[in-house]
Amino acid sequence: MKIQVVGPGCYRCHATERNVINACAELDLAADISHVNDPRQFAALGVRMTPAVVVDGKVLVSGKVPTVEELKRLLSALRQAGS
């Protein structure tokens, strides 16, 4: 699973990245997590508002900092759909 945290590097973006890492750890989910901070790439990924979380090319969250619990629900649903 490839997870991209999209945002310019502000506090909210770092909080989102931290929550993604924590959610993956709590789910024991092996994921390739990266941070995209180049504004030219935001539109190419389909992101209009940051921070955003993109999983395998699909925008899951945009314009807010998702909680660890919210991310766990979303990631679990994706993992089950992929099984």
What are 12-35's pLDDT values in tens digits?
999 999 999 999 999 999 999 999
23 within 8 A of 75, measured Cβ to Cβ: yes
**Phi, then psi, of 81 in degrees rounded to 5:** -65, -30
Assigned CATH for 2-82: 3.40.30.10
* Domains in the chain: boundaries: 2-82
pLDDT band at 82 (very low <50, low <70, confident <90, very high): confident
Tell me what the pLDDT averaged over the chain comes to.
94
Burial bucket for residue 59 (CB in 10 Å: 0-12, 13-18, 19+)? middle
Give the pairing type, strands 2-6 and 32-36: parallel
Cβ–Cβ contacts within 10 Å for residue 18, how many?
A: 13
User: Active-site residues: which are they?
Assistant: 10, 13
pTM summary value: 0.93
